[in-house]
Amino acid sequence: MNENSDESPAIRLTARGMKTRARIVAAAADLMRVQGIGGTTLDDVIVASGVSKSQFYRHFQDKDALVRAVVTHVGEWVIARETNMLGTVSTLAGLRRWRDSLVKANALRHGMYGCALGSLAAEVSDYDTVARSVLDELFGAWQRLIDEALGRMKRAGVLDESVDTARLAVGFLASLQGGYLLAQTARDIEPMAIAIDVALAHLESLATAGRAAS
What sign has the CA pseudo-torsion 32, 196, 144, 168?
A: negative
CA geometry: angle at 139 spanning 153 and 65, to 5°? 155
Q: Which of 19, 141, 7 is nearest to 67 (CA)?
A: 7
**Burial of 194 by CB count in 10 Å (0-12 exposed, 13-18 middle, 19+ buried)?**
middle
108-139 burial string, b = 16+ CB within 10 Å, else e? eeebebbbbbbbbbebbeeebebbbebbeebb
Residue type, 24: I
For residue 127, what pLDDT is reported? 85
For residue 170, what pLDDT is reported? 97
Alpha carbon 205 to its chain's center = 28
| Residue ranges of domains in the chain | 15-205
Please enumerate in sequence order all residues whose Cβ is within 8 A of that of 17, keeping only pairs 6 or more positions apart, or say none. Answer: 11, 58, 59
Residue type, 128: D
CATH topology for 15-205 is Tetracycline Repressor; domain 2 (1.10.357)
Dihedral class, residue 110 (left if φ above 0, else alpha if ψ from -120 to 50, else beta)? left
Please enumerate in sequence order all residues whose Cβ is within 8 A of that of 195, keeping only pairs 6 or more positions apart, or say none. Answer: 175, 176, 178, 179, 182
Pairwise CA distance, residues 83 & 80, whole Å: 5
Q: Which of 104, 97, 138 is nearest to 119 (CA)?
A: 138
pLDDT tens, per residue, the chain with 214 residues: 444 444 444 455 688 889 999 999 999 999 999 999 999 999 999 999 999 999 999 999 999 999 999 999 999 999 999 999 999 999 999 999 999 999 999 998 888 889 999 999 999 988 899 999 999 999 999 999 999 999 999 999 999 999 999 999 999 999 999 999 999 999 999 999 999 999 999 999 999 754 554 5
For residue 121, what pLDDT is reported? 94
